[in-house]
Chain A
Amino acid sequence: MATFFGEVVVAPSRAGVDDESAEEACEETPEDREIRRELEKKREVDVLWTLKSGASAGSSAGEPFACSKFIVAIGRNAAAFLSSFVLDSVCWEVVGVVKLWNEWCRTSNTTNVLPTDSFCLFYQLISDPTVLLCQCSCYVAEDQQFQWLEKVFGCMQKEGLQVTILSTCPVADYKTQESTLTLTSPFLKALKTKEFKEQVCCPLLEQPNIVRDLPAA
């Protein structure tokens, strides 16, 4: 199939990939298991918080902290948008960092980053500590996305929490009846849950377009 609702694979055979590995999994030797475990450990996502409220600086913060608004910018463009228009050192302070490694990038736990680095940082609005912001310019691999999600959101109170996710996609991936050459790009599209009752500032994403990876997670 060329495209299909939910089409996310970029490999030549989009279905039935690696069914051999499914069979090999049941014939794992102890050495294979050990190697796989080591690889999994290397690919673990670590979330380190340095919140003033006394939450421990470790991936397992004691109690979930109060959060009313959480803005997540995924990808270099979205992260740059926040750097240019929202963040500054006066109103925002760094309160957390994600440390991870995959074949595409490695982040570190330093908070002094350059725009060209791969990083994933959390900021808190000083005047209202329940407002959090995340800039994630590193690529979070498929097998790490769920972990990232659970570890980050696991630390927050979800009651009354409003989450806004900013990300970008290539225009070439946008499916529309007209040619993409005639579209005025860049343009905004949104997806929202039914719980989101406020006015959305742009049109909703039409079928059959989809969002994948960390923004989708």
Chain B
Amino acid sequence: MFVPCDRGGGSANPDFKGFTLLMPAVSVGNVGQLAIDLVISTLNMTKVGYFYTDCLVPMVGNNPYATGEENSMELSINAEVYSLPSKKLVVLQIRSPFIKNKYRPFCQALLSWVKSSKCARVVLLSSSHAYQRDDEQLLGTPLRYLLTPDLEKAVGGLMQELNWKEMEKVAAYPGINDTEKVLHIPGGGITKLLFTESCSKGIQMAVLLKFCSEGDNIPDAFALVNYLNEWLQRIKSEVSSNNSTDTSSQWKIPSSWRLLFGNGLPPALF
């Protein structure tokens, strides 16, 4: 599934041993994907390959992170992998929705690639419908996390320190039997499937998600990426050299976020 880029001079298959894989779920508001765009753009990550898969709707365009004429002509497709070896970070960006009935094959292929490329852990950025929150969830932070048992052992304590909230389980049969609880992530796309598969395969995975609704999700993306940074900054060196408390300024918005809400106005309107 993974096809390395031919960078000439580099090894055929880049080595991700011990790396953290950061990836989005295609979920409500596309928040995970927007957050990943911010990470790739800010860290100026290099593309190292793509996924050749029949599970996602095909799309192609020119480089979404172009900063000028010279780098604006590289083609970009629906599932690409970027890396930053100095931070042991590999990032997958998914740009189109899943084709019906292809969720499970994709998750399986992805997790098997995670294992074969020996990534140490996976961090999945996702979101869930804000309107599905219960009374308690309406108060306080809209950000949640989940850890697979294998990762819980490694970083569970850190989550306590950060004062993060774990995603609550809901009753499997509300109103009838409130004791049996299940994980429910409405609007989360493949989040739940990927998480449960990772639990059963012994993969270290963390899910970071935000409750949100469709609309202008750029602030949600910033919130999510800052949430991620609270954790990753603790165990890695600073993401950016800027130590200011204004966290939104340290992220670089990619050029492809132009015209997110339509074209310029027709002069004839006035």
Binding site for B on A (CB under 8 A): 1-6, 8-9, 13-19, 21-23, 25-26, 36, 142-143, 145-147, 174-182, 191-194, 204-217
Contact = CB atoms under 8 A, between A and B. Distances in A.
11 contacts: A4-B260, A6-B64, A15-B26, A15-B189, A16-B187, A22-B192, A174-B263, A191-B61, A207-B258, A212-B59, A215-B60
B100 A4 contact: no
Interface stretch (B70-78, B135-143, B149-157, B242-250): B70-78
A9 B99 CA distance: 11
Nearest to A209: B61
A22 B265 contact: no
Chain A to chain B: the 7 pairs with minimum beta-carbon distance, closest first: A6-B95, A146-B54, A179-B266, A210-B61, A217-B58, A16-B187, A5-B256
Given A1-B30, A182-B266, A212-B59, A17 B97 contact: yes
A215 B60 CA distance: 9
Contact of B62 (A18, A182, A191): A191
Contact of B189 (A16, A182, A214, A215): A16
Most-contacted residue by chain A among B73, B75, B104, B186 (CB, 10 A): B73
B211 to A, nearest CB: 12
Interface residues of B, number: 65
B99 A207 contact: no
Contacts of B74: 194
A207 B186 contact: no
Given A1-B217, A22-B103, A143-B100, A6 B59 contact: yes
B63 A13 contact: no
B268 interface: yes
A14 B257 CA distance: 17
A14 B191 CA distance: 15
B258 A6 contact: no
Given A8-B57, A25-B103, A36-B101, A207 B64 contact: yes
A23 B192 contact: yes
Contacts of B49: none
Contacts of A178: 263-264
A179 B264 CA distance: 5
Contact of B193 (A1, A17, A22, A176): A22
A120 B30 CA distance: 35
Q: Chain B's interface: helix, strand, loop or mixed, by majority?
A: loop
B57 A16 contact: no
Given A2-B261, A9-B97, A206-B72, 4 more contacts: A9-B96, A22-B103, A22-B192, A191-B60
Interface of B: 25-30, 33-34, 37, 54, 57-64, 66, 72-75, 77-78, 95-104, 127, 129, 185-193, 214-217, 254-268
Contact of A175 (B26, B54, B192, B263): B263
Given A175-B259, A176-B264, A211 B187 contact: no
A9 to B, nearest CB: 5
Contacts of A142: 57, 99-100
A147 B30 CA distance: 27
A60 B46 CA distance: 39
A1 B100 contact: no
B99 A143 contact: yes
Contacts of A217: 58
Nearest to B64: A5
Contacts of A213: 57-58
A33 B58 CA distance: 26
B63 A207 contact: yes
